[in-house]
Amino acid sequence: MNFYELHWREPLWLAALLLLLLLIFLQHRSKHKQNFRLSHFADRHLLPYFINPGKPFRYGLIYSAYSLLILALSGPFLVSDQQQQNQHKALDIVLIVDISPSMNATDITPNRLTRAKAEIKDLLQLRARDRVALITFSANAYLTLPLTHDKDVIQQFVQALSSDLVRRKGSNLSRAIELAQETLSASKSNSRAIILLSDGEHHTPRIQQQAKMLQQQNIPLFVMGIGTTSGAPVIDHTGNTLTHQGLPVISKLNSTALQSLAQITQGVYSTPTADNTGWGKINIELEQLSTLNSYETYTQATFKLPPWLLMTALILILLPALPRVRFISWTLFLILPVTTLSPSATASAWQEAQALAALKNNDLNVAENHYRNIGGFNGNLGRGSVAYKKQLWPQAAKNFNKAVQSAQTDQERAKAHYNLGNALTQMKKTKSAVMAYKQALRFQPNYPRATFNLNLVERIQHLPATQDKKQTDTHMQQQTPTRTEQNETGHRPSKNEDNKTTAQIKQEKQSLQTGEFQGAYIPEKLEKLLQKRYLRRDQIDGLSKAETKPW
């Protein structure tokens, strides 16, 4: 049996009911004074028989209609407790985006990288049902997002991209393609593709061999060339023209190399156009592939009440003009649908809404008081979230464990395991946290937050214990550049910068959040988070001087 919970989109409108009650009170008081004055001419019990006998009835209908209008403005809707599982078939696509400094060239307005972001937005609209992963590259390549169908998440990460996210500059497309192959390794053959957005500058000879490997694996590479053959100066992070050996750097679109890569892999090369015909050619080829990869989404049935409230208000306004005989029929017409509603759309749902609002506003004591009276999965998850925000990690883990036990759907189990993993991570139980995240992904394979935090915790596992200073120093000496080592831009990291790097890595432990009630996980300071992730990736890979020029 399905039950429904009552929610409000604009609950502040309910305050207007207080104004309506005040108006009714003032009118009743005015009428009382009027009756008192008229009582000098007739007994009070006789007044209703000869002074506007139908007026109270009409006023009641009007006030009821106003009440329904206010309720309609507050946007009430019912949400089913049963989740519907939907199966989708799609392509798996890896987006490779060049974020090297040459993408700051302004031969395309306003610059190449900004134009690439706009082109990606158009592509996501064309391929709305496909799963997409995001890889960026400069001197190294970075898996920024795993395969996901959540286009809003992808778009927000794309908008955060810039060449300033990486400390080491270059153009390591070879590593980016290797990473794309790894990402697509579990995808179905003839149902996967790579799309590259780059200006094609300074690619190593090895890239031709990798293109042939893509052809053997039946992975087409589609290329969107960003830039012009006439080129433009490269702008550095200070807004000045980048120089190399005393001369300004002029970056040009290497369309020949990019076309060659696309042809080897049976892909298509294109350039941006105002009418989207560039993506049109690529999209035609993508349509020829088979949508063999499957993923699941979970939705909950919703029932919007405002149209019914507005219709009922209109009926109440028209009722005085109807014959009395029809009044009973209209009353039954209004009452019967109400009797079919689930009894769960009651004060319990209202209390849950209040608890959730308090939790979002960080009114933790208020939220805790509300969640004490709420049972089941929502109550356990809410109490765990309150304890998590209070940094009471063991208590949070205990409540999240209860949420796992009380979960009734796979989505609820995934959500509970995800939050349990966050609490275990804060307790420095990283092995248990990894198991919790993997459980969340088992119940809900397409779970961007769980995937993100799983990768983050696995990186944290490589960190030494903070209390062992000697071990920390040894680890950092192995993972970070020495003070005498220059990177490809000629910058020598100082001891202070090394210490700052250590602090940044440790701060990754604070990146875990619950936030499960607010949709997909988007960090508030996404650019800073990506900088930390990219820096850590460079250290894990032991990135040395780039093989190519630093743009």
Cα gap 403→429, rounded to integer Å:
19
- Give, in order, the Cα–Cα distances in Å from 324 to each of 61, 315, 319, 321: 14, 14, 9, 9
Per-residue pLDDT, averaged over 364-373, amounts to 82
Is the pLDDT higher at 251 or at 42? Answer: 251
Instruction: Identify the pLDDT of residue 191.
Output: 95
- Report yes or no: 364 and 356 within 8 Å, Cβ to Cβ: no
- Give, in order, the Cα–Cα distances in Å from 540 to each of 174, 387, 427, 455: 18, 34, 24, 13
| Helix, strand counts (H, E) of the chain | 21, 13
- Give, in order, the Cα–Cα distances in Å from 257 to each of 95, 252, 254, 500: 19, 12, 6, 40
Per-residue pLDDT, averaged over 3-8, amounts to 77
User: With 60 as the cut, is the pLDDT of residue 105 above it?
Assistant: yes
State pLDDT tens for residues 133-156.
999 999 999 999 999 888 888 998
Cα gap 298→442, rounded to integer Å:
14
Report the 3 state secondary structure along 77-108: EEEEEEEEEEEEEECEEEEEEECCHHHHCCCC
Per-residue pLDDT, averaged over 147-170, amounts to 89
Report the 3 state secondary structure along 411-461: HHHHHHHHHHHHHHHHCCCHHHHHHHHHHHHHHCCCCHHHHHHHHHHHHHC
Is the pLDDT higher at 260 or at 457? Answer: 260
User: With 90 as the cut, is the pLDDT of residue 428 above it?
Assistant: no
Instruction: Identify the pLDDT of residue 328.
Output: 55
Q: Classify burial at 494, counting beta carbons within 10 Å of its beta carbon; exposed 0-12, middle 13-18, buried 19 or more.
A: exposed
pLDDT above 90: percentage of residues in the chain: 26
Instruction: Identify the pLDDT of residue 275.
Output: 80
- Least trusted range by pLDDT, from 86-100, 182-196, 377-391, 444-458: 444-458
| Percentages of the chain per state (helix, strand, coil), in multiples of 5 | 55, 15, 30
Cα gap 432→457, rounded to integer Å:
10
Q: What's the one-letter identity of residue 407?
A: A
- Please list the residue range(s) of the chain that carry CATH number 3.40.50.410: 92-288
- Least trusted range by pLDDT, from 50-64, 107-121, 202-216: 50-64
- Least trusted range by pLDDT, from 371-380, 435-444, 449-458, 473-482: 473-482
What are residue 461's phi and psi, to 5 degrees? -60, -25
State pLDDT tens for residues 504-551.
444 444 444 444 433 344 455 788 888 888 988 888 887 654 445 666
What's the CATH class of domain 349-483+490-520?
A: mainly alpha
Cα gap 357→342, rounded to integer Å:
23
- Least trusted range by pLDDT, from 207-211, 385-389, 463-467, 543-547: 463-467
Cα gap 510→170, rounded to integer Å:
30
- Least trusted range by pLDDT, from 37-51, 304-318, 457-471, 504-518: 504-518
Instruction: Give the list of residues 6+ apart from residue 31 with CB closer than 8 angstroms, or none.
Output: none
> Which residue has tokens 């009743």?
28
Task: Find the helix or strand (DSSP H, E) in which 18 lies.
Answer: helix 16-38
Cα gap 443→450, rounded to integer Å:
11
Q: Which of 20-29, 192-201, 348-357, 362-371 has the highest mean pLDDT?
A: 192-201
CB atoms within 10 A of CB 483: 11
State pLDDT tens for residues 300-312.
677 888 888 988 8
The reported pTM is 0.58
Count Cβ neighbours within 10 Å for each residue of 136-160 and write b for 16 or more, e otherwise.
Answer: bbbbbbbbbbbbbbbbebbeebbeb
State pLDDT tens for residues 242-276.
887 788 889 999 999 999 999 999 999 999 988 87
Instruction: Identify the pLDDT of residue 482.
Output: 29
Instruction: Give the list of residues 6+ apart from residue 524 with CB closer than 8 angstroms, or none.
Output: none
Per-residue pLDDT, averaged over 311-330, amounts to 68
State pLDDT tens for residues 284-299.
999 999 989 887 776 6
**CA dihedral for 493, 495, 496, 499, sign (positive or negative):** positive
Answer CATH for 92-288 from 3.90.730.10, 2.60.40.10, 3.40.50.410, 3.40.630.30? 3.40.50.410
pLDDT above 70: percentage of residues in the chain: 73
Per-residue pLDDT, averaged over 442-453, amounts to 78
Q: Binning pLDDT at 50, 70 and 90, where does residue 36 land?
A: low
Q: Binning pLDDT at 50, 70 and 90, where does residue 502 land?
A: very low
State pLDDT tens for residues 52-103.
554 667 778 888 888 999 999 888 888 776 666 778 899 999 999 999 999 9
Is the pLDDT higher at 547 or at 460? Answer: 460
Query: Chain-wide mean pLDDT for the chain?
Result: 77
- Report yes or no: 354 and 7 within 8 Å, Cβ to Cβ: no
- Please list the residue range(s) of the chain that carry CATH number 1.25.40.10: 349-483+490-520
Q: Binning pLDDT at 50, 70 and 90, where does residue 38 land?
A: low
273 Rama class: left (phi>0) / alpha (psi -120 to 50) / beta = beta
